[in-house]
Structure formats: structure tokens, C-alpha cells
Amino acid sequence: MTKLSVNINKIATLRNARGGQIPNVLLAAERIESYGAEGITVHPRPDERHITYEDVRQLAPRVKTEFNIEGYPSRDWLDLVIAAKPAQATLVPDPPEALTSNAGWNTLQHGAFLKEVLQELKSHGIRTSIFIETDLQLIDGAKDVGTDRIELYTEPYAAGFAGGSEAAVAPFERAAAHAHEIGLGVNAGHDLSLENLAFFAQHVRPLDEVSIGHALISDALYFGLENTVQMYLSKLS
């Protein structure tokens, strides 16, 4: 079964809006795990506008499922990840000023840089993933630079889902199948929701993990956190 990793950035955003420790990021992560999620994802950015570097340090020994740290591989980010030793590090090509992740890596253009970063992470026993779009040539490039997995950037699927789910999911089906053929694991994330997740998971195979934050935390405002995690898990079963 595809694992659900919950991105808790939005919980930190709410906390930071007021200051203090409410809502408590550590407690939220523990509760999310207890409700059945198989992973916790964070994406610390240089301005620490949601998850902070100190959050990552405190979460590292407390997360009992898979801990996934996303981000642009600056030296500061790499040092943080290496110290935290998560199960997985996901490289995302977003500049510091980006509001949210909005593109995948060009693994051909940035191949030498990615290879060096991936080798460093893997030397510390950390599984690696690259945030990427569905271009098969770029997926081949991901294999060449030495990543363990790719994470498919799913905003185009989410945007196209209402207009025709078969057409929207087709590039992701091809990409996942191709990645599997060349020996890469497949994750996915960005704008997956209760409305579009089940169809995606049924068609994109194999699919090791989905990382979901904004939609899940937003749904939790209406349905409650425990119930919402269960609802998302049901879409993957």
C-alpha cells in the first residue's frame, strides 16, 4: 500500500502567526503518527516562515515513522539534514523567495550539482528523492545522478483533474512505470486532495509514498485531524 506522509508545514505557519507554541508542532506530529500516517514531512526554508531549523532538530528524535525533510540543498540545509538523519531527504529546486514549490529539477542541466549532493547524503545513510516532472528524459537523468527515488510534482494533475481525469493522470502513469523500469522508487506530492487522491493512487503504479500537507491540514479544520488522516488513508487503500 502507498504510504501517507503528512507535511506539517501549515501547522507551523499557524503557530508562527501568533508566536509561542500553539499549535504545538511536535505534538501534532505525534498525534498524526498515532492516527495512522506512515510518515512526517517538513520543508524548512531559509526564512523559516513555517517549519524552523529548530523544529527539525526537535522532530528528528521524536518522529517514529519515516521522517522526510524536503528543501533546496543549500549548505545550511544539508548540514541540518545530515545532523537530523531522516529516513529520506527530498531535493526541491525552489528559490528562497518561492511561496511554494512550483517546478521539478532539470536533472540534465543540474546533473553535476545533484550528483554531488546525493552522494553526500547517501554517505550518511539517508535515502534520497528528487522532486521532478513527468519528462522521461529528466527521469533518466535522475537515475544517472544517483537518486533512490523521484517525487512526481503533481500540481499539473490536480489542475487538470476536473477537466478530464484520464488525460490528467496519463503522464504520471507513464512516468511512474518508466521510473520503476529503471530501478527508481516513486513518490508524489503537491495539491493532492480528498477529491483527486484515490484516482491518482489507483492509476499511478507503483507508488511508494504521497506527501500531502496543505489540503490535509485544511480539511482537518472541518473534519478534525484524526478523522482527516483516516479519510486520506482510505483513499490509498
Q: Which domain holds residue 202?
A: 3-236
- Give the number of domains in the chain: 1
C-alpha–C-alpha distance, residues 105 and 102, integer Å: 10
CATH number where 147 lies: 3.20.20.70
C-alpha–C-alpha distance, residues 129 and 68, integer Å: 10
What size, in residues, is the chain?
237
Q: Looking at the annotation, which residues are catalytic?
A: 43, 70, 190
C-alpha–C-alpha distance, residues 182 and 13, integer Å: 38
CA 186 to chain CA centroid, nearest Å: 11
C-alpha–C-alpha distance, residues 77 and 182, integer Å: 29
Q: What is the pLDDT along the chain (237 residues), one digit of tens a residue?
A: 899 999 999 999 999 999 999 999 999 999 999 999 999 999 999 999 999 999 999 999 999 999 999 999 999 999 999 999 999 999 999 866 555 556 899 999 999 999 999 999 999 999 999 999 999 999 999 999 999 999 999 999 999 998 888 999 999 999 999 999 999 999 999 999 999 999 999 999 999 999 999 999 999 999 999 999 999 999 999
